[in-house]
């Protein structure tokens, strides 16, 4: 828990949200690549494309270039946007992270006491995890499964560590708690965390069964798959399961203090937590992935872990 003197906003302001967006496509193929999201207005994407070509031609008039060279250019408004599942699924996760951060930043005065060291450093860790999730989703959006897993595994270690140090108030004892060992302790409370960590570790440590799917074959030639839509589906399923782990851990921290007032931020958290429905989301990914073994393995973790806490 943070003291009233702590100010996280000063840190986040140095790295504003508009600098953290991941852009989906390029509007040009010149030396200076300009990226946009498909959800950007079609007119804006057309004008940005015209500006890039104007610079390349060393012309002074963007409108002249657009009318002369791009008069037949027409972008579709948000192509395929209505069919995309990644946006609402990612948004559901992000809303949960935002609600927990808001809660952790606002509730300390209600305790009417100084937070334990484990509470204070644990809250800071949870708050920072929301940014780590952003970076994990950025890799997932590119279909970079192994890179996504590496970040996700770090997150799981961190939230498990938070659970283990929560009630500690001794610097040396807290320092002796290793995040990699904390997963085992946390899994005693939430058993599916151990299975999830094992799956992640196989990919992060390049186990044979995990890395084999990155090897491709085309007739007599072999290659290494860097990223793919299939990898994106697996990564999203994994991040949704991890978000459920995050929800369980944060909720368990909140429930340690049942006597607190029901503040507005706690109400927002409760609503966000109740709206997050991981099982239907991963079920739909499993259906669309046409029997992908990894997605079904992740789905099984959710199905075997009762949603309580």
pLDDT tens digit string along 262-278?
566 677 788 888 889 99
Give 286's contacts (C-beta < 8 A, 6+ positions apart). Answer: 237, 292, 295, 296, 299
Residue in 47, 33, 49, 45 with CA at minimum distance from that of residue 79: 45
**C-alpha span between 246 and 281 (Å, rounded):** 16
User: For the packed helices 229-255 and 264-275, what is the interaxial angle rounded to 10 degrees?
Assistant: 140
The predicted model gives 102-123 an average pLDDT of 77
**C-alpha span between 237 and 90 (Å, rounded):** 11
Most confidently modeled range among 54-58, 288-292, 293-297, 300-304: 293-297
**C-alpha span between 140 and 6 (Å, rounded):** 33
The predicted model gives 214-224 an average pLDDT of 81
Query: pTM of the predicted model, to two decimals?
Result: 0.83
Residue in 97, 113, 115 with CA at minimum distance from that of residue 17: 97
């Amino acid at each position: 828990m943070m003291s009233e003197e702590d100010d996280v906003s000063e840190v986040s302001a140095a790295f504003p949200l508009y600098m953290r967006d991941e852009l989906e496509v390029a509007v040009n193929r010149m030396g200076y690549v300009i990226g946009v999201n498909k959800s950007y207005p079609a007119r804006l994407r057309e004008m940005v494309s015209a500006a890039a070509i104007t610079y390349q031609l060393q012309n002074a008039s963007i409108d002249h270039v657009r009318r002369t060279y791009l008069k037949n250019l027409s972008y579709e408004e948000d192509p395929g946007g209505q069919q995309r599942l990644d946006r609402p699924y990612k948004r559901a996760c992000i809303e949960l992270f935002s609600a927990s951060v808001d809660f952790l930043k606002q509730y300390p005065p209600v305790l009417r006491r100084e937070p334990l060291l484990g509470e204070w450093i644990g809250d800071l860790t949870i708050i920072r995890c929301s940014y780590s999730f952003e970076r994990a989703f950025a890799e997932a959006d590119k279909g970079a499964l192994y890179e996504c897993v590496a970040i996700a595994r770090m997150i799981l270690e961190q939230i498990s560590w938070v659970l283990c140090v929560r009630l500690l108030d001794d610097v040396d004892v807290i320092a002796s708690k290793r995040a990699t060992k904390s997963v085992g302790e946390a899994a005693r409370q939430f058993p599916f965390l151990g299975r999830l960590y094992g799956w992640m570790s196989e990919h992060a440590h390049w186990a044979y069964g995990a890395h084999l799917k990155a090897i491709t074959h085309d007739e007599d030639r072999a290659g290494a798959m860097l990223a793919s839509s299939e990898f994106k589906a697996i990564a999203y399923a994994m991040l949704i399961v991890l978000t459920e782990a995050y929800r369980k851990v944060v909720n368990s921290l909140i429930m340690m203090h049942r006597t607190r007032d029901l503040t507005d931020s706690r109400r927002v958290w409760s609503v966000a937590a109740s709206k997050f429905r991981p099982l239907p989301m991963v079920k739909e990914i499993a259906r669309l992935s046409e029997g992908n073994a990894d997605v079904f393995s992740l789905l099984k973790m959710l199905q075997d872990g009762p949603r309580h806490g």
